Copies of this chain bind each other. A is one copy, B any other.
Amino acid sequence: MNRFLSNATNRIDAKGRVSVPSAFRSVLSDGGVRELYCFQDFVFPAISVGGPELLDRFERQMAVEDPFSPAANEMSLLVHGGGVFVKLDPEGRLMVTDFIRDFTGISTDVMFVGRGDYFQLWEPQAFQKAQAAAREGRKSRGLRPE
């Protein structure tokens, strides 16, 4: 498994650190990633996290759009200007900064949510809500695995 899948919730300790789930760490080390790039999601109250190649991915997307469109402009602002780098400590933990807390509402627990090429940090309750809303929308459109 070389992608970020599934989810897990971990507790923030007294120093403001939280363990990245083991499954996600092995995806990172398989890719030789030591430093992570984080920025705010465009629609959800979540922080997206990935290796430096995540930056490339969004830049490609911006390139296909009109560079002066509001969407591309906004994307650049968030991705280029709003991103931060974080490092993992030897045990695989990261610091939960105010940048993360303020945007997500995270206080005591962090939910790690796999998104395939990258993963996200969520406040657990907020994720439940967003997921329930997404499921409702999907149900009404009738999409099923079959």
Contacts and interface: CB of A to CB of B under 8 A. Distances in A.
Interface residues of A, number: 47
Nearest to A127: B81
B114 A42 contact: no
A143 interface: yes
A139 B43 contact: yes
Contact of A73 (B43, B55, B113): B43
A40 B81 contact: no
A81 B43 contact: no
Contact of A82 (B68, B77, B131, B137): B131
Contact of A145 (B48, B134, B138): B48
Interface string A25-39: 000000000010000
Given A7-B84, A138-B42, A145-B57, A116 B77 contact: no
